[in-house]
Amino acid sequence: MRKLFLLFILAFFKLSSFASIQPVEFEDNTQLDLYNKIINNIKCVVCKAQSIVDSDTDFSRSMQTLIAEQIKEKKSEEEITSYITDRYGDKVLLNPPVDIKTYLLWFMPIGICLVLAVITFKNLKKLL
């Protein structure tokens, strides 16, 4: 019963995440895969917390259409991504590149976890 309930909930997540993909036709599956890869990595510029796939804003729809057009023009993933980051910055990517500006973003959580782990292990005796 619990598994069934979980499946039911998961089914809804699946539906919602594909709710606002624009119907686009490509020459082959490689283009479709590239399209899905790019649109899942771009953040909505209006609502910020969602990808353009999950967001239903006019800007996200335009972004999807623009990416599809550029794929049809045989542009590479790098060319399309840099077209968008040139205009909106790296923060528009859901998976931003690891560089000097994002070290804090990538490694701070690990750092905090390590510090907390050390504190916990040191005080393990007291806690138990």
- Residue 90 CB, shortest distance to other proteins, in Å, is 10
Residue 99 CB neighbours (<10 A): 9
Site for other proteins in 47-66 (CB under 8 A): 58-59, 61-63, 65-66
Cβ count within 10 A of residue 90? 13
- For other proteins, the closer of residues 53 and 63 by Cβ is 63
Report d(CA 31, CA 35) in Å as an integer: 6
Query: Is residue 86 a contact point for other proteins (CB under 8 A)?
Result: yes
**Which one among 88, 93, 96, 102 touches other proteins, defined by CB under 8 A?**
88
Helix ranges restricted to H, the chain: 2-17, 29-39, 58-72, 77-88, 103-122, 124-127
Nearer to other proteins, 78 or 86 (CB): 86
Nearer to other proteins among residue 6 and residue 112 (C-beta): 112
Per rule CB under 8 A, is residue 87 in the interface with other proteins?
yes
Helix axes 58-72, 77-88, angle to 10 degrees: 150
Q: Which two tokens stand for residue 65?
A: 């259409």
Q: Is 78 in the site for other proteins (CB under 8 A)?
A: no
Give the residues lining the site for other proteins (CB under 8 A): 45-46, 58-59, 61-63, 65-66, 86-89, 108, 112, 115
